[in-house]
Structure 1
Amino acid sequence: MIEWVSLSAEVRPVPRPLATPLVWATAFGGALVLVALHTLFVGTDRPGLALAGLSLLAVALGLCARFTAAPGTAVLCWLFLNGFAIPPVGTLTWAAPRDTLWLASLCAAALVGTVLARIVHARAAYRRITIGSAPMAAEPEDWRGSD
């Protein structure tokens, strides 16, 4: 006997990503704070630490953002890294190999965060829909045996 059971009764929606302008505003404020703290405590002679901190920020923002927010997040983080974490402070410069690598790594970090979030949400949604959660039919009386 086949019994049809609606699976939509227990299905919860996958969390929606945040709006891109909100992610970019958070990237702006977060990058400002991170680079200011880096400049205050470390100085401008070690931009690798600032790049690592901004990459972690990009990953964290990618966890709650859309794919389309990744390039803007990377550019905002790079602007603060280039403008305030390396000398001359307050001046944007372009050194092709270095800045291309920095921009690519920041964009990759944002994309890694977004991909990781999508995988986690997809696995959670898959685990919520299980065949074993359907109610089972009662067994026939004569199958149990006699006492």
Structure 2
Amino acid sequence: MLPARLIKPLFFATLCTSLLGCTHGPQEVQTEQLLKTSHSWDGTAYETYPGSTPELTVLKITIPANTTLKWHTHPMPNVAYVLSGELMVETRSGHQTRLKPGEVLPELVNIPHRGTSGNSPVELIVFYAGAPGLPLSKPD
């Protein structure tokens, strides 16, 4: 007969391997491509790229609920990943898109646009591929 101190661990180990299919080896790394593009969300092709040393910037941006950002442009390609909330993005020419959590937006370059949050705050992670001294955005 097994000592009482070993019965419980042995029971859970048996349960895990026989009923639940648990594995004890390392898990595989999984990769999911969220975006690969050569154009922005409105279909405009990316034509130029800053011609100096690359500088990558990653920001977490929180936009309060029911907020409309000011019109602005970006001088370099960038991508926004929506963590939470809903964001409507528009251009002055009337193009619009609505983003939900888990969606990715390839931003416009040198085209005025703005975003408007819904009834809850929006959290974004934005990846900028710029150059030293180049502003991430400019008011328009």
Tell me which structure has the larger Cα radius of gyration: 1
TM-score greater than 0.5 by the shorter chain: no
The TM-score, its normalising length taken from structure 1, stands at: 0.23
The TM-score, its normalising length taken from structure 2, stands at: 0.23
